[in-house]
Amino acid sequence: MNKIRNISFILGFCLLCLSCKDKTNKLPSGIKHVFVLGIDAMSTQGMETASTPNIDYLIKNGAICRNVRTVIPSSSSPNWASMLAGAGVEAHGITSNSWTPDNYSVKPVGITEYGMFPTIVSVVRKQLSDAKIGMIYHWNGFGNLFEKNVANVDKSYETQQKTAQALSDYIRTEKPTFTFTQLDDVDHYGHMYGHMTEKYLACIEQADQCVGMVLKAVKDAGIENESLIIVVADHGGIGYSHGGESWEEMTVPFILYGKNINKGFEIQQQTYIFDVAPTIAYALGIDVPYAWTGRPIRSAFEGETSKADPVMFKHLSYGPRINGRRNLFEQAGGLFVDKTEVTIEPYTKGDKVYYTTDGSEPTQKSLLYQAPFQLNQTTVLKAKSFGKGNAESVISVGYFRFLHRNPDNGINVNLFPGTSQNHMPLPQNGQIGNQWIADEIRADEKQINQLLPTGQTEFSLVFSSYIQIDKSGEYYFYLQSDDGSRLYIDDKKVVDNGGSHGVTEKSGSVILEKGRHSLTIDFYNDGGGYWIDAYYKGPGIPKQIIPAEKLFKKP
């Protein structure tokens, strides 16, 4: 009898364990269709600033993560590929927009019979053999990033509107299992007019209309109650470009709406761009390759509970706005004569802002911002927001520089239209271009456009001046530019940031004696948007834009 009781106890315990295991590994049920809408270059900030009633509806009735981290570089192909492949560039090998199946530098860690690292397209096909799959996209380069001859529909369209219409028609007629759609206009407007400009925001509003078209198609097809709609972006942007490492470029939204999705839910789980494909697989109840590194965002689904993170983790948000929102590449702060007023506004209403004026990192023991105040000397202002539940923002920096009407201050600038060998050599044989005097080291768009031939977008600039060093010691110089730049002190190259690239920062150091030293910076634009900022740091001087008051036309 005791033996029977023991056997019964063991069987009961095993059944309990199996029951617990099934509960732990429970998959969503009833999701028969997954539709992904990818809006190229829509940053979280852009989405939250633009008028987007359809996206707002999905967020209100679904789940959102507002701080999804892109992969590096923050450009289109690496990030779309990471979404599709459930892994980063180090695994799938798609490192730039110039990547094609026969043009690459990094080999993937492995390939399938399709000659590529496995994507969600082939994963769905292998496990749901009868599934109808549609890859419908605007930018034809997107078609390089997944397996060919796998999807039932694999087609690009010439406009964003036609792409959304084709997807909507496909949903109504075929009720597909899985579609992935890329809309490209927001990215185009970011490059053409600048991120966070009125035209960029208006284009996000047009993309939102496309979201509305697709949502209506799902409802018209009678499959809304068994569908999951995902809206995501590949990267954000700053100025006229992206590809760099700024918060604006590397923070995007991830929205889930539909069957089994929690309503009005803010996803706290840290989410990465390569979590998209595992989430799709999780929703459809299929397995993922071991080579994938992403994780499904389980907490967005009803009935799922997240375990407490064993490590205290604070999600960061956009930093406070110093004197309003940044204008394109331009840093907060600015160049002023004699004095200016400073205002600081938290990105999230109701948060408290603390700031410093000596370049140190702000904490809750720093100055609490309560009202606008005056500045009259060169200052590195740093501000940080603190909100509910230990929420914190990234640090915003304002570089305030002042001129006090000294006629000796200034920089000589030479403009050379056209291409240059090796992207911006210094002019040879006393070559002289179009010249003017500037207050600071910057690419003055108005001045440049007046001097460039119509249609010319390639040019180089040479800035020459003398920098006043007030204390001997080691000085660090930094160039942040789009495209290439180099900095020379006393004809010695200190910083090399050459090449064609988005806004990228490089640095170097040099020992300098007290006094004035010649400063030369050459800059090259390879077409499209452009920008340059020059910073320095030295004994008792926090990193800052080189102040106009320290630059002189003569030694």
Asked whether residue 104 carries a pLDDT value surpassing 80, the answer given is yes
Q: What is the DSSP string of 91-153?
A: HH---STT-BTTB-SS--S---TTSS---HHHHHHHHSTT--EEEEESSGGGGGGS-TT-SSE
Q: Point out the least confidently predicted range of 129-138, 275-284, 519-528.
A: 519-528
pLDDT value for 231: 98
User: What is the pLDDT, as a whole number, of residue 22?
Assistant: 38
Tallying the residues shown for the chain, one arrives at 555
Give the range among 33-37, 122-126, 242-246, 328-332 with minimum mean pLDDT. 328-332
Reduced to 3 states (helix: H, G, I; strand: E, B; else coil), residue 515 is strand
Look up residue 83 and give its two tokens: 């979404």
C-alpha span between 154 and 305 (Å, rounded):
37
Residue 426 has pLDDT above 60, yes or no: no
Query: 468-508 pLDDT, tens per residue?
Result: 999 999 999 999 998 899 999 999 999 999 988 878 899 99
Residue-wise pLDDT tens digits, 529-555: 788 999 999 999 999 999 999 999 988
Band of pLDDT at residue 420, cut at 50, 70 and 90: low
Q: Would you say 384 and 319 are in contact if contact means Cβ atoms under 8 Å apart?
A: yes
Choose among 271, 372, 370, 363: nearest CA to 315.
271
Predicted pLDDT at 455: 76
For residue 25, what pLDDT is reported? Answer: 54
Tens-digit pLDDT profile for residues 159-175:
999 999 999 999 999 99
| Model pTM score | 0.85
Report the alpha-carbon distance of residue 41 to residue 195 in Å, rounded.
9
Left if phi > 0, otherwise alpha if psi is -120 to 50, otherwise beta: which for 255? beta
- pLDDT (tens digit, 9 = 90+) per residue, 49-96? 999 999 999 999 999 999 999 999 999 999 999 999 999 999 999 999
The per-residue pLDDT for 10 is: 46
pLDDT value, residue 431: 57
Q: Which residues contact 103 (CB under 8 A, 6 or more apart)?
A: none
Nearest to 234 by CA among 289, 178, 181: 181
Q: What is the pLDDT of residue 417?
A: 86
Q: Cβ distance 237 to 192 under 8 Å?
A: no
How far CA 168 is from CA of 4, 146, 216, 272, 348, in Å, comes to 62, 21, 8, 28, 35
Strand partners, 232: 38, 254
